[in-house]
Amino acid sequence: MLLLAALIAGGIGPHSLSAAPRETAPAGAAAEADWPAGSLDVVLARPTSLALSESPVRDALGQIAKSHDLPIWLDRRVDPSRSVDLELSEATLGQAVKQIAGAVGADVAIVGPIVYVGPPSWAAVARTSAVAFREQLAELGRAERQNWVDARVWKWPELTTPADLIVLVQSSALTKIGGSERVPYDLWPALDLGRSSPCDVLTLVALQFGLRATVQLESGEVQLVPLDP
């Protein structure tokens, strides 16, 4: 009820911003479930061809995401209107995404099942930040850890704010998140991430404001603190 009230107060309807019920990994299978890289590797290795002429980078990546059911998250610091001119006849899907990113001065990182496209210095630390957070979560009790790593279906509408997402992550993980005042007001485009873990979603929200998530082991609380690329 608290989450529902918070979303309504923030202008987001209860049926539009969602993290669907989680899918819990069986006991002893948490490590395999944490990074479902196998299926993502298969998708990124698919052959593809494309021809882009003055296509806004957000549209170009969105078309690939929709066509291949691939969750691609474009960093807020990359101008989504920058145009891409690119023609590929023999390339993998992963190569295509990387070349589109490169055409606007960005780079690519894989965080869990999510393809992150952002400034090169931040793409370079995206995965290491996510791994460090997961390593800290591994020190928690099993139930607390699973609240963070079990996958849910994440989807939100146009004009969602980072604060909305932090509230949703907090509710999904059943853990207080401190330091959210470091995240300024912003309006984000609609995005469908498919099945992702709350810890990876929080990592990528925080990253876009120069922050990282860290666990206070004594209390189990998660804090957002500055991250230097």
Q: Which has the closest alpha carbon to 203: 75, 70, 32?
A: 75
Burial class (CB in 10 A: 0-12, 13-18, 19+), 1: exposed
Quick check: 197 and 112 in contact, CB under 8 A? Answer: yes
Radius of gyration of the chain (CA): 17
In CATH, what is the architecture of 2-20+119-226? 3-Layer(bab) Sandwich (3.55)
Quick check: 84 and 64 in contact, CB under 8 A? Answer: no
Quick check: 197 and 148 in contact, CB under 8 A? Answer: yes
What distance in Å separates the CA atoms of residue 25 and residue 21, rounded to the nearest whole number? 13
Per-residue pLDDT of the chain (229 residues; tens, 9 = 90+): 333 333 323 333 434 666 665 544 333 223 333 434 458 889 999 999 999 999 999 999 999 999 999 999 999 999 999 999 999 988 999 999 999 999 999 999 999 999 999 999 999 999 999 999 999 999 999 999 999 999 999 999 999 999 999 999 999 999 999 999 999 999 999 999 999 999 999 999 999 999 999 999 888 899 999 997 6
